[in-house]
Amino acid sequence: MSRRGTAFPGIRARRRATTLAIMWLLLCSSWTPLAAQGQTTSAYTAPRTPDGHPDLQGLWQAMNTAVWNLEDHDGEWGVPAGQSVVQGGAIPYLPSALARRQQNFRSRATADPEAQCFMVGVPRITYLPYPFQIVQSRTQVTMLYEYAHVFRNIYLNSPHPKGPLQWWMGDSRARWEGETLVVDVVHFGDQTWFDRSGNYHSPALHVVERYTRTSPDVMRYEATIEDPNVFSRPWTISMPLYRRQEPNARLLEYECAAYLEAQRDRLK
Protein backbone atom coordinates (compact mmCIF):
# COMPACT_ATOMS: atom_id res chain seq x y z
CA MET A 1 0.00 0.00 0.00
CA SER A 2 2.76 2.41 0.87
CA ARG A 3 4.50 1.72 -2.46
CA ARG A 4 1.37 2.49 -4.46
CA GLY A 5 0.62 5.50 -2.29
CA THR A 6 3.98 7.13 -3.07
CA ALA A 7 4.49 6.07 -6.70
CA PHE A 8 1.17 7.07 -8.23
CA PRO A 9 1.21 10.72 -7.05
CA GLY A 10 4.70 11.12 -8.54
CA ILE A 11 3.58 9.70 -11.88
CA ARG A 12 0.51 11.93 -11.88
CA ALA A 13 2.66 14.97 -11.11
CA ARG A 14 5.06 14.19 -13.97
CA ARG A 15 2.16 13.64 -16.38
CA ARG A 16 0.58 16.91 -15.29
CA ALA A 17 3.87 18.76 -15.80
CA THR A 18 4.31 17.17 -19.25
CA THR A 19 0.75 18.13 -20.25
CA LEU A 20 1.25 21.73 -19.11
CA ALA A 21 4.53 21.95 -21.04
CA ILE A 22 2.87 20.69 -24.24
CA MET A 23 -0.01 23.16 -23.84
CA TRP A 24 2.45 26.00 -23.31
CA LEU A 25 4.39 25.08 -26.45
CA LEU A 26 1.19 24.94 -28.49
CA LEU A 27 0.08 28.30 -27.13
CA CYS A 28 3.43 29.93 -27.90
CA SER A 29 3.48 28.53 -31.45
CA SER A 30 0.03 29.95 -32.27
CA TRP A 31 0.19 33.29 -30.41
CA THR A 32 0.84 36.45 -32.40
CA PRO A 33 1.59 39.75 -30.66
CA LEU A 34 -1.01 42.44 -31.26
CA ALA A 35 1.67 44.73 -32.69
CA ALA A 36 2.47 42.15 -35.38
CA GLN A 37 -1.10 41.26 -36.39
CA GLY A 38 -1.87 42.30 -39.94
CA GLN A 39 1.83 42.66 -40.83
CA THR A 40 3.53 40.52 -43.42
CA THR A 41 6.51 38.39 -42.45
CA SER A 42 8.50 39.39 -45.54
CA ALA A 43 9.11 42.77 -47.14
CA TYR A 44 6.60 43.67 -49.82
CA THR A 45 7.90 44.73 -53.22
CA ALA A 46 5.58 47.14 -55.00
CA PRO A 47 4.88 47.00 -58.74
CA ARG A 48 7.15 49.25 -60.81
CA THR A 49 6.49 52.20 -63.05
CA PRO A 50 8.21 52.22 -66.49
CA ASP A 51 11.19 54.07 -64.97
CA GLY A 52 11.69 51.30 -62.38
CA HIS A 53 10.45 53.02 -59.21
CA PRO A 54 7.70 51.74 -56.87
CA ASP A 55 4.26 52.46 -58.25
CA LEU A 56 2.31 54.45 -55.64
CA GLN A 57 -0.42 55.52 -58.02
CA GLY A 58 -4.03 55.18 -57.02
CA LEU A 59 -6.71 56.61 -54.78
CA TRP A 60 -5.74 56.52 -51.08
CA GLN A 61 -7.35 57.53 -47.82
CA ALA A 62 -6.52 57.55 -44.10
CA MET A 63 -9.07 55.82 -41.85
CA ASN A 64 -8.42 57.20 -38.37
CA THR A 65 -9.24 60.16 -36.11
CA ALA A 66 -5.94 62.04 -36.50
CA VAL A 67 -7.76 64.94 -38.16
CA TRP A 68 -9.48 65.61 -34.82
CA ASN A 69 -6.38 65.26 -32.67
CA LEU A 70 -3.02 63.63 -33.33
CA GLU A 71 -2.82 62.55 -29.69
CA ASP A 72 -5.12 60.33 -27.60
CA HIS A 73 -8.51 61.98 -27.18
CA ASP A 74 -11.87 61.13 -25.63
CA GLY A 75 -15.09 61.06 -27.56
CA GLU A 76 -17.38 64.03 -27.11
CA TRP A 77 -20.22 65.71 -28.97
CA GLY A 78 -19.30 65.54 -32.66
CA VAL A 79 -15.78 64.20 -32.02
CA PRO A 80 -15.02 60.44 -32.16
CA ALA A 81 -12.61 59.02 -29.59
CA GLY A 82 -9.23 58.14 -30.97
CA GLN A 83 -5.74 56.91 -30.23
CA SER A 84 -2.50 58.80 -30.78
CA VAL A 85 -0.67 58.48 -34.10
CA VAL A 86 2.38 60.15 -32.53
CA GLN A 87 5.25 57.77 -31.91
CA GLY A 88 5.71 57.81 -28.14
CA GLY A 89 2.16 59.11 -27.64
CA ALA A 90 2.65 62.82 -26.91
CA ILE A 91 3.79 65.85 -28.91
CA PRO A 92 6.96 67.30 -27.28
CA TYR A 93 5.95 70.95 -26.91
CA LEU A 94 8.31 73.49 -25.44
CA PRO A 95 6.80 74.83 -22.18
CA SER A 96 6.72 78.31 -23.72
CA ALA A 97 4.61 77.03 -26.65
CA LEU A 98 1.80 75.43 -24.65
CA ALA A 99 -0.15 78.63 -23.99
CA ARG A 100 -0.83 79.18 -27.69
CA ARG A 101 -1.82 75.54 -28.14
CA GLN A 102 -4.36 75.93 -25.32
CA GLN A 103 -5.69 79.16 -26.84
CA ASN A 104 -6.04 77.43 -30.21
CA PHE A 105 -8.05 74.66 -28.57
CA ARG A 106 -10.43 77.12 -26.90
CA SER A 107 -11.07 78.99 -30.16
CA ARG A 108 -10.90 75.97 -32.49
CA ALA A 109 -14.50 76.26 -33.75
CA THR A 110 -13.67 79.47 -35.63
CA ALA A 111 -9.86 79.79 -35.60
CA ASP A 112 -9.06 76.44 -37.24
CA PRO A 113 -7.84 77.14 -40.81
CA GLU A 114 -9.91 74.20 -42.04
CA ALA A 115 -13.05 75.80 -40.63
CA GLN A 116 -12.25 78.80 -42.81
CA CYS A 117 -11.67 76.62 -45.90
CA PHE A 118 -8.00 77.52 -46.12
CA MET A 119 -5.44 75.04 -47.37
CA VAL A 120 -4.49 72.91 -44.37
CA GLY A 121 -0.79 72.28 -45.02
CA VAL A 122 1.45 69.25 -44.67
CA PRO A 123 1.09 66.69 -43.15
CA ARG A 124 -2.54 67.43 -42.26
CA ILE A 125 -3.74 67.26 -45.86
CA THR A 126 -2.90 63.52 -45.83
CA TYR A 127 -5.26 62.51 -43.03
CA LEU A 128 -8.24 64.72 -43.76
CA PRO A 129 -11.37 62.56 -44.11
CA TYR A 130 -11.23 62.73 -47.92
CA PRO A 131 -9.35 60.61 -50.47
CA PHE A 132 -6.41 61.80 -52.50
CA GLN A 133 -4.86 60.55 -55.71
CA ILE A 134 -1.20 59.94 -56.54
CA VAL A 135 0.06 60.28 -60.12
CA GLN A 136 3.71 59.65 -61.05
CA SER A 137 6.06 60.60 -63.84
CA ARG A 138 9.81 60.28 -64.23
CA THR A 139 10.52 63.73 -62.79
CA GLN A 140 7.71 64.37 -60.32
CA VAL A 141 4.93 62.93 -58.18
CA THR A 142 1.63 64.81 -58.14
CA MET A 143 -0.88 64.47 -55.32
CA LEU A 144 -4.44 65.57 -56.03
CA TYR A 145 -6.70 66.09 -53.01
CA GLU A 146 -10.48 66.04 -52.88
CA TYR A 147 -10.43 68.79 -50.26
CA ALA A 148 -10.89 72.22 -51.88
CA HIS A 149 -9.11 71.27 -55.15
CA VAL A 150 -5.70 71.28 -53.44
CA PHE A 151 -2.76 69.65 -55.25
CA ARG A 152 0.97 69.21 -54.70
CA ASN A 153 3.69 68.95 -57.33
CA ILE A 154 6.53 67.03 -55.69
CA TYR A 155 9.68 67.38 -57.75
CA LEU A 156 12.22 64.55 -57.76
CA ASN A 157 15.94 65.07 -57.20
CA SER A 158 15.89 68.85 -57.31
CA PRO A 159 16.72 71.47 -54.65
CA HIS A 160 14.30 73.70 -52.79
CA PRO A 161 14.12 77.30 -54.03
CA LYS A 162 15.92 79.81 -51.87
CA GLY A 163 13.89 81.41 -49.10
CA PRO A 164 12.56 82.73 -46.99
CA LEU A 165 9.21 81.78 -48.49
CA GLN A 166 5.88 81.17 -46.79
CA TRP A 167 3.47 78.91 -48.64
CA TRP A 168 0.34 77.19 -47.35
CA MET A 169 1.51 73.77 -48.53
CA GLY A 170 5.23 74.39 -48.33
CA ASP A 171 7.67 73.34 -51.05
CA SER A 172 8.08 69.59 -51.62
CA ARG A 173 11.16 67.86 -53.06
CA ALA A 174 11.57 64.08 -53.14
CA ARG A 175 13.93 61.18 -53.64
CA TRP A 176 13.56 57.41 -53.69
CA GLU A 177 15.08 55.22 -50.98
CA GLY A 178 14.41 51.66 -52.13
CA GLU A 179 10.68 51.03 -51.70
CA THR A 180 10.07 54.41 -50.06
CA LEU A 181 9.32 57.83 -51.48
CA VAL A 182 10.95 60.37 -49.15
CA VAL A 183 9.52 63.90 -49.41
CA ASP A 184 11.27 66.88 -47.83
CA VAL A 185 8.95 69.85 -47.22
CA VAL A 186 9.98 73.38 -46.15
CA HIS A 187 8.94 77.03 -46.71
CA PHE A 188 5.82 77.18 -44.55
CA GLY A 189 3.98 80.05 -42.93
CA ASP A 190 2.41 79.72 -39.51
CA GLN A 191 -1.23 79.81 -40.62
CA THR A 192 -1.89 76.06 -40.65
CA TRP A 193 -2.53 73.59 -37.83
CA PHE A 194 -1.84 69.87 -37.55
CA ASP A 195 -5.41 68.98 -36.52
CA ARG A 196 -8.77 70.32 -35.35
CA SER A 197 -7.65 70.52 -31.72
CA GLY A 198 -5.14 73.33 -32.25
CA ASN A 199 -1.76 71.61 -32.49
CA TYR A 200 0.33 74.11 -34.42
CA HIS A 201 3.78 75.13 -35.72
CA SER A 202 5.84 78.17 -36.68
CA PRO A 203 7.34 79.16 -40.07
CA ALA A 204 10.42 77.13 -39.07
CA LEU A 205 8.48 73.90 -39.69
CA HIS A 206 10.36 71.16 -41.53
CA VAL A 207 8.53 67.95 -42.49
CA VAL A 208 10.00 64.75 -43.92
CA GLU A 209 7.35 62.36 -45.27
CA ARG A 210 7.84 58.69 -46.10
CA TYR A 211 5.43 56.74 -48.34
CA THR A 212 5.94 52.95 -48.47
CA ARG A 213 3.55 50.38 -49.92
CA THR A 214 3.32 47.39 -47.57
CA SER A 215 0.77 45.37 -49.57
CA PRO A 216 -1.25 45.82 -52.77
CA ASP A 217 -3.85 47.95 -50.98
CA VAL A 218 -2.03 49.43 -47.98
CA MET A 219 0.63 52.13 -47.77
CA ARG A 220 2.51 53.14 -44.63
CA TYR A 221 2.73 56.90 -44.13
CA GLU A 222 5.21 58.54 -41.78
CA ALA A 223 5.97 62.20 -41.23
CA THR A 224 8.79 63.49 -39.05
CA ILE A 225 8.14 67.00 -37.79
CA GLU A 226 10.79 69.47 -36.68
CA ASP A 227 10.25 73.01 -35.44
CA PRO A 228 12.72 74.33 -32.83
CA ASN A 229 10.46 77.30 -32.10
CA VAL A 230 7.61 75.09 -30.86
CA PHE A 231 8.93 71.59 -30.07
CA SER A 232 11.78 70.34 -27.90
CA ARG A 233 12.81 67.67 -30.43
CA PRO A 234 11.70 66.17 -33.75
CA TRP A 235 8.72 63.81 -33.53
CA THR A 236 7.03 61.40 -35.89
CA ILE A 237 3.50 60.40 -36.78
CA SER A 238 2.67 57.16 -38.60
CA MET A 239 -0.47 55.55 -39.99
CA PRO A 240 -1.66 53.24 -42.75
CA LEU A 241 -3.31 54.61 -45.87
CA TYR A 242 -5.80 52.39 -47.70
CA ARG A 243 -6.49 52.07 -51.40
CA ARG A 244 -10.11 52.80 -52.29
CA GLN A 245 -11.62 49.62 -53.71
CA GLU A 246 -14.87 50.75 -55.33
CA PRO A 247 -15.02 49.83 -59.04
CA ASN A 248 -15.87 53.44 -59.91
CA ALA A 249 -13.63 55.09 -57.30
CA ARG A 250 -12.47 58.57 -58.28
CA LEU A 251 -11.94 61.98 -56.78
CA LEU A 252 -15.12 63.96 -56.34
CA GLU A 253 -15.40 67.65 -55.47
CA TYR A 254 -15.60 69.03 -51.97
CA GLU A 255 -16.59 72.65 -52.41
CA CYS A 256 -15.53 73.89 -49.00
CA ALA A 257 -15.93 77.60 -49.76
CA ALA A 258 -19.47 77.13 -51.10
CA TYR A 259 -20.39 75.13 -48.00
CA LEU A 260 -18.93 77.80 -45.72
CA GLU A 261 -20.84 80.57 -47.48
CA ALA A 262 -24.08 78.59 -47.19
CA GLN A 263 -23.49 78.16 -43.46
CA ARG A 264 -22.86 81.87 -43.03
CA ASP A 265 -26.02 82.73 -44.94
CA ARG A 266 -28.01 80.34 -42.79
CA LEU A 267 -26.79 82.01 -39.60
CA LYS A 268 -27.62 85.56 -40.72
Buried b (16+ CB within 10 A) or exposed e, 4-36: eeeeeeeeeeeeeeeeeeeeeeeeeeeeeeeee
Residues 130 and 207 in one domain: yes
Residues 136 and 187 in one domain: yes
pLDDT number for residue 7: 43
Residues 174 and 132 in one domain: yes
pLDDT number for residue 32: 39
Cis peptide before 164 (omega within 30 of 0): yes
Residues 99 and 197 in one domain: yes
Total domains, the chain: 2
Q: Note whether residue 237 is domain-resident.
A: yes
Residues 9 and 96 in one domain: no
Closest CA to 163 of 155, 175, 171: 171
pLDDT number for residue 6: 41
Q: Note whether residue 262 is domain-resident.
A: yes
pLDDT number for residue 261: 64
pLDDT number for residue 268: 61
- Residues 141-197 have pLDDT tens digits of 999 999 999 999 999 999 999 999 999 999 999 999 999 999 999 999 999 999 999
Q: Note whether residue 188 is domain-resident.
A: yes
Low pLDDT (below 50) residues in the chain: 1-9, 11, 22-41
Write out the E strands in 187-249.
206-215, 218-226, 235-243
Q: Note whether residue 46 is domain-resident.
A: no
Q: Note whether residue 227 is domain-resident.
A: yes
Q: Note whether residue 40 is domain-resident.
A: no
- Residues 171-182 have pLDDT tens digits of 999 999 999 999
Residues 12 and 133 in one domain: no
Residues 249 and 211 in one domain: yes
Residue 23, domain extent: 2-30
Write out the E strands in 36-119.
58-62
Residues 234 and 125 in one domain: yes
Residues 101 and 152 in one domain: yes
Residues 70 and 26 in one domain: no
Q: Note whether residue 47 is domain-resident.
A: no
Instruction: Give Dmax (Cα) for the chain.
Output: 99
pLDDT number for residue 40: 43
